[in-house]
């Protein structure tokens, strides 16, 4: 087949990139070689627009074993235990085919974790949909939630936490980000770097089909009116086969058989081969006629670019082939030697003894394009919202409207579809703060949470980037965990647009600042660009997945009020920041102004003080304050229990709407038994922490003096009605 300009563009390559390919090869590529370059040089695999900025993120720390660059990040939690975790996007496939797109997103992130020797112990997700009124939203929501639950439930990994949000910015491009967390021993961590010459390259798992061809390329381009035609590029998952694959791999990992291992994710056999060879500075020769295929007459092109699921590539030590084959045979999986390592530093592809492709490894990896795209700085908005000019509303009515909205309604309809307790180590399910997972057979546990804040990032990317790291940090603190490290999934629009590229660059500046100050390094992650349709880009949506350690889990701390007549302490200063708030968006449809200021000194001091108080077992419950402000946090604490509140009348000079709905950062609510109040106040004063005693818990009623009084049961009913009616 003749390589024309049209063929090049169809493969998602620019003409200048094609010119560079010819220079690297010193000749014209054939169609197979072009397809391989297309797979490795697309945005999804090469990070060509983001690499320059990603390298500025802090990635090292005392507890970091492996940072970015491997299948997943690895942290040390003591006692020879390691936690392996990562988050990735499956946005484009989930929009085209929601069930399979979401399901294979879960399957892919699980493989990233167990490929490194970890048994997965938890799944999380961050899913974003368009306006509930949009004609596609309901079917997309149903499909995605079913896909996440279907895959996770079948494979037997608990889905313990997540977030679901709605905004018209995602009408034509939803976000489906999946995170997996696994546990391994520090001396049994496996990497993808190939080593040694003439070592067996082994294909294991499912057979190769024609599903998912050009999936990575599809994820590196904007949608248009013809997006539905891309359904063949969406992979089809089989969780039962993945379960077999996981158990077979973990069994083989018990001895010294494996040199390196890599899952076949985006770009399938192409990316797995190239990544292993490039890291090891070796060549690999493949015999494609030996690749197990489930469809007839598959071509080398189709084999190399297929993204069929539940497949791995393994390089074995000499003499271990028979032993490994027996294990995979026992688990009823394909095991075929399809190649060998070489000293050629080339990817050589043979089919029936004929060389079909020959490409230098570095041409696909280190020589892939890196762009320094132009970007525009965004100034901090100056406009102020005048509350006096807005239609008057009662605090009670505002509270009810927010709690009954799509974004703030109880998500039980979603979480009930996920098995949260399988494996029996879930100490605390998803809720308002973070989930807690016991390390099996031990006293210690980890806390996990995912968070995003698109509105803040859109208004001012640097501030928004700082904020979302801090919010994730607070969520872990609130359950008594010491935050250790994060993974991130960076969802943005078209990087060729200088404004969009500016949002990306500045969000990363904000993330970097918070991570450095809080000693909260980035150990893994994913970039998803081109999220948009017909040049309508999504809001910048970085998603942060955090992991923290609870050294001794005596009793889990959650956000639910525990008893009557407890003191309610508000930690951190309240200034009443309403710009970019849930209050203005939900009540007045105003999304304007600047996001709340992030004071990293206060964030750290307040958080560490709260953690000290929790460790000394002085609190009944804790909740951080985020979207919706103080009153929403208090309502969540009440609705999770049978106890209400009686809040003192606010200060005369404070606007009650600003006080209760303001989204000032770095704040927590503590429920404190009166017997412990003096001890807590002493800690707070010694640490120079600002706090207020704002009221007491009480039975049955959610009450703010002079403003509202609602039965807690009624509040709970209001909060549960949206999904039921939708």
Catalytic residue list = 44, 90
* CB-CB neighbours of 562 under 10 Å: 15
Interatomic CA distance for residues 86 and 111, integer angstroms: 11
Among all chains, which residue has been given the structure tokens 């039965």?
Answer: 711
Crossing angle for the helix pair 629-639 and 395-403, to the nearest 10 degrees? 60
Give the integer Cα–Cα distance in Å for 488 and 89: 10
What contacts 504, CB < 8 A, 6 or more positions away? Answer: 50, 53, 375, 461, 490, 492, 495, 529, 540
Closest CA to 577 of 385, 427, 308, 328: 385
| CB within 8 Å of 190: residues ≥ 6 apart | 115, 116, 117, 253, 258, 260, 261
Could you give the C-alpha distances from 108 to 123, 191, 220, 252, in angstroms and in order? 12, 17, 17, 20
Q: Which sign, positive or negative, has the C-alpha torsion 51, 54, 55, 60?
A: negative
**Residue that the structure tokens 């190769």 belong to:** 208
CA-based angle 511:515:516, to the nearest 5?
120
Phi, psi dihedral angles at 577 (to 5 degrees): -75, 115
Helix axes 395-403, 712-719, angle to 10 degrees: 40
User: Are residues 454 and 541 in contact, defined by beta-carbon separation less than 8 angstroms?
Assistant: yes
Q: Which among 446, 467, 526, 539 has a CA at the least distance from the CA of 181?
A: 446
The region, left, alpha or beta by phi > 0 then psi within -120 to 50, assigned to residue 673 is beta
DSSP designation for 243: H
- Rounded to whole angstroms, the Cα distance separating 420 from 102 reads 18
Structure letter (DSSP) for residue 503: H
């Amino acid at each position: 087949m003749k390589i024309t300009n049209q063929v090049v563009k169809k493969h998602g390559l620019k003409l200048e990139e094609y010119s560079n390919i010819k220079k690297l090869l010193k000749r014209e590529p054939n169609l197979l070689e072009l397809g391989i370059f297309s797979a490795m040089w697309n945005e999804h695999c090469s990070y060509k627009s983001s690499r320059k900025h990603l390298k500025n993120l802090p990635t090292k720390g005392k507890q970091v074993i492996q940072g970015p660059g491997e299948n997943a990040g690895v942290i040390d939690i003591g006692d020879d235990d390691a936690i392996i975790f990562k988050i990735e996007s499956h946005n484009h496939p989930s929009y085209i085919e929601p069930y399979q797109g979401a399901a294979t997103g879960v399957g892919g992130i699980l493989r990233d974790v167990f490929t490194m020797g970890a048994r997965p112990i938890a799944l999380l997700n961050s899913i974003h949909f368009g306006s509930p009124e949009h004609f596609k939203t309901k079917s997309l929501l149903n499909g995605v939630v079913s896909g996440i639950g279907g895959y996770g439930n079948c494979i037997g990994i608990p889905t313990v936490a997540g977030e679901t949000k709605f905004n018209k910015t995602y009408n034509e491009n939803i976000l489906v980000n999946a995170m997996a967390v696994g546990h391994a021993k520090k001396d049994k961590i496996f990497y993808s770097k190939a080593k040694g010459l003439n070592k067996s390259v082994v294909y294991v798992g499912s057979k190769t089909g024609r599903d998912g061809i050009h999936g990575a390329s599809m994820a590196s381009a904007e949608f248009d009116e013809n997006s539905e035609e891309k359904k063949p590029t969406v992979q089809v998952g089989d969780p039962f086969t993945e379960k077999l694959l996981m158990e077979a791999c973990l069994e083989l990992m018990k001895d010294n058989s494996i040199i390196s291992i890599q899952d076949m994710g985006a770009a399938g056999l192409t990316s797995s081969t190239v990544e292993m060879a490039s890291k090891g500075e070796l060549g690999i020769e493949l015999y494609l006629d030996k690749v197990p295929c489930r469809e007839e007459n598959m071509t080398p092109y189709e084999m190399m670019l297929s993204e069929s699921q539940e497949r791995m590539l393994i390089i074995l030590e000499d003499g271990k082939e028979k032993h490994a084959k027996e294990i995979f045979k026992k688990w009823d999986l394909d095991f075929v030697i399809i190649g060998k390592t070489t000293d050629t530093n080339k990817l050589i592809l043979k089919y029936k003894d004929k060389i079909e492709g020959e490409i230098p490894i570095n041409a696909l990896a280190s020589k892939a394009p890196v762009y320094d795209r132009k970007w525009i700085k965004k100034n901090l908005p100056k406009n102020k919202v005048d509350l006096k000019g807005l239609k008057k509303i009662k605090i009670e009515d505002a509270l009810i409207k927010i709690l009954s909205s799509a974004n703030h309604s109880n998500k039980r309809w979603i979480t009930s579809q996920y098995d949260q307790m399988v494996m029996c180590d879930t100490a605390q399910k998803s809720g308002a703060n973070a989930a807690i997972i016991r390390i099996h057979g031990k006293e210690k546990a980890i806390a996990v949470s995912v968070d995003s804040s698109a509105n803040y990032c859109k208004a001012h990317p640097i501030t928004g980037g700082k904020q979302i790291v801090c919010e994730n940090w607070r969520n872990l603190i609130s359950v008594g965990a010491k935050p250790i490290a994060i993974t991130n999934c960076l969802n943005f629009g078209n990087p060729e647009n200088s404004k969009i590229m500016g949002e990306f660059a500045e969000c990363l500046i904000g993330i970097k600042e918070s991570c450095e100050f809080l000693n909260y390094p980035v150990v893994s992650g994913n970039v998803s660009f081109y999220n948009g349709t017909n040049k309508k880009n999504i809001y910048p949506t970085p998603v942060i997945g955090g992991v923290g350690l609870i050294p001794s889990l005596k009793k889990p701390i959650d956000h639910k009020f525990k008893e009557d007549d407890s003191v309610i302490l508000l930690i951190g200063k309240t200034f009443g920041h309403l710009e970019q708030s849930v209050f203005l968006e939900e009540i007045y449809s105003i999304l304007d102004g600047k996001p709340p200021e992030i004071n990293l000194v206060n964030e750290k001091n307040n958080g560490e003080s709260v953690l000290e108080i929790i460790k000394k077992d002085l609190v009944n419950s804790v909740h951080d304050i985020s979207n919706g402000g103080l009153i929403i946090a208090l309502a969540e604490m009440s609705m999770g229990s049978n106890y209400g509140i009686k809040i003192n009348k606010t200060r005369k000079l404070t606007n009650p709407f600003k006080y209760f709905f303001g989204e000032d950062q770095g704040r927590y609510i503590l429920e404190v038994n009166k017997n412990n109040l003096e001890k807590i106040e002493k800690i707070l004063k010694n640490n120079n922490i600002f706090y207020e005693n704002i009221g007491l818990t009480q039975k049955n009623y959610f009450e703010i003096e002079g403003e509202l009084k609602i039965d807690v049961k009624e509040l709970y009913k209001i909060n549960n009605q949206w999904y039921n009616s939708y």
